[in-house]
Structure 1
Amino acid sequence: MKNRAKTQAEMRDRIVSTTMLMHDEKGVAATSFVDIARRAGIGAATIYRHFPTLGSLVAACGAHVWKEMDPPVPERASEIFKDVVGMEDRLHRLVDEVDRFYRRGALRLTAAYADRHLIPELDEFLRAVEAGVAALVREAVKVEALPDAVLQLVIVLTDFPVWTAMQRVAGADLERRRAVARLVGCAIRTAR
């Protein structure tokens, strides 16, 4: 019985690994069970036995991606800012943390954002990512009494699509991060 369970776990891991590689290459929605089966050297029926729906397979991949990307989570937001006092320093820490995360996950986040409207599990994954980033923002600016509209603007300025667009701005990474921190600071100052 233990050997059978081990074999099934290995097959699930093989399917998930193959799927993640194909998602990286083709995108999530463009990858079919037949494509995955062909690449993994198994039958499509084997995939369906382990993952009866696309959503269940995407969720399994998402669990692996979550561990790899190590996104910010609300529960750890306060520890990131525990030794940072001034608002300017807090904003720089915020932007640096978000930038490091987006760099780790850029390939997979891009694929997830592209297909989030097609696959509910991708939307759920991205909502969790966005909640973590929003928690970092709230923690970074908690020393200010910001109107909700300004808080939302700051959250938007730290969103992945904005980060992606900022990568097209000429200059070094440090310069881009500092520019975003200044933009966030400007948004906060307009609230005063």
Structure 2
Amino acid sequence: MSITGLILAGGRGSRMGHVDKGLQPFRGKPMAAHVLARLAPQVDRVMINANQNLEAYRQFGVPVWPDEITGFAGPLAGLHAGLVHCDTPLLVTAPCDSPFLPADLVASLNTALQVQQADLAVAMTGEGQERQPHPVFCLLKTALLPHLADFLQRGGRKVDAWYASLRVAEVQFADADAFRNINTLEDLQKFEAQ
């Protein structure tokens, strides 16, 4: 089954001083370029959701789509834009500030989605009290577009609130560091040096 990858770069970067996180230099190239390099081999095609610096993102050589819902409505608005422009049966998402994402992300999510006959598969790390969902690392059926559009139209913005009404496959990954987000300039400097 064909899968499109969507890099979510539509936020305001408020925790990083209102800079465009995906375009911040990290180990010699923009952070989103690291995400693209890791995600592209796992999917049939890639696109980026961005709401600013669109020309800079187009330099990555993939389609760039802004939110169709105005006002920086969060990751679900980016997911909505991706679904609107997706022409494959499945869409997988990853944020632009996660340059360490796993090489088996898509295969693992897709296996769980198919085996559990779910609507959506989401990455998880940790056990028990340390259990952590990573809702912006998800694989979903593009047929969910009307369901998401309705949720957003009713004012819904929280990813987990949207998931709550769907059949979700939770996929355990051992390496929590692979899902690390670089949210602040301090994080950027710390991981640059490692």
What TM-score comes out, normalization by structure 2 length? 0.24
* Higher helix residue share: 1
Which has the higher Rg, Structure 1 or Structure 2? Answer: 1
